[in-house]
Amino acid sequence: MAVTNQTARLVVLISGGGSNLQSFIDACGGDNSDLDAKIAAVISNKPEAKGLDRASQVGIPNIIVDHRAFDSREEFDANLGDVIESFAPDLVILAGFMRILTPNFVNRFIGKLINIHPSLLPAYPGLHTHQCALDAGDAEAGATVHFVTPELDGGPAILQAKVPILADDNASSLAARVLSVEHKIYPTVAQWFCSGRLEMKNGQAILDNQVLGQTGRTFSQDGER
């Protein structure tokens, strides 16, 4: 668990525009911040990722570890892990990091590696989640913050937020509605971890000494604390 008597250090991994990264930048900013943490570094596997500009604009160290420069997934992950560890993070955050990580990498950071997935897990792991929900005729969609384990999108759920699926929704409109709640629940979970309330133990997510169920806790628009 994160050390609670000092400001926690975060490393955020991105591949694209960094809208979830921005939610962390905003949550960490100011005297009345929602997240008692410092973003120690932002790392992208893509040099063109717009999220790097978001980090640069607020003076956060940002690094490119281009996966195309390595001969294998294992070599890339080992190098990436070394870069992450050089910043001594308490928590590593996958924020639109579009790489399937090797078990060796995941196990290196197990218990302090979290991800957000745009579905109500365990439904629809992998890609095209919004279209899957539409094709299934679901009444709701949403997002899940979870601990990362070697099983793709299979780590224990921590917090979910739900949004209604509207009659005229398409994948893009539904994605936008889900993204708006992602920006709320992801920093919330990070604060739980950084304040010592959240941990992963024996393959389970534990919040306030209570084991969370298969879908974690459900977010309230009034604020989940």
Strand pairing partners for 199? Answer: 206
Q: Mean pLDDT over residues 82-100, rounded?
A: 97
Are 187 and 158 a contacting pair, CB within 8 Å?
no
pLDDT at 2: 42
Determine the CATH number of domain 8-218: 3.40.50.170
Please count the helices (runs of H) and the strands (runs of E) in the chain: 6, 11
pLDDT at 1: 46
Given 3-state DSSP classes, what are the helix, strand and coil percentages for the chain, each rounded to the nearest 5? 30, 25, 45
**Cα angle, residue 108 at apex, residues 103 and 113 outer, rounded to 5°:** 90
Distance CA 91, CA 185 (A): 16
> What phi and psi, each to the nearest 5 degrees, are found at residue 173?
-70, -35
Residues 18-67: tens digit of each pLDDT: 999 999 999 997 666 789 999 999 999 999 999 999 999 999 999 999 99
Residue 117 appears among annotated catalytic residues: yes
pTM of the model: 0.95
- In a 10 Å sphere around its CB, with 0-12 CB exposed, 13-18 middle and 19+ buried, how is residue 221 labelled? exposed
pLDDT higher than threshold 50 for residue 3? no
- Band (pLDDT 50/70/90 cuts) for residue 6 is confident
pLDDT at 186: 98
The DSSP-derived string for 140-158 is: EEEEEEEE--SSTT-SPEE
pLDDT at 33: 77
Question: How high does pLDDT run on average in the chain?
Answer: 94
E-only strand ranges, 29-80: 37-44, 62-64
Per domain, the residue ranges of the chain are 8-218
What stretches of 51-167 show up as alpha helix (H) in DSSP? 51-57, 73-85, 103-108, 129-135
Percent of the chain with pLDDT over 70: 94
pLDDT at 180: 96
- Band (pLDDT 50/70/90 cuts) for residue 204 is very high
First to last CA, the chain: 18
Residues 143-202: tens digit of each pLDDT: 999 999 999 999 999 999 999 999 999 999 999 999 999 999 999 999 999 999 999 999
pLDDT at 220: 84
Which residue is catalytic, options 117, 130, 146, 183? Answer: 117
- List C-alpha distances in Å: 139 to 46, 122, 166: 36, 16, 8
Q: Mean pLDDT over residues 71-93, rounded?
A: 98
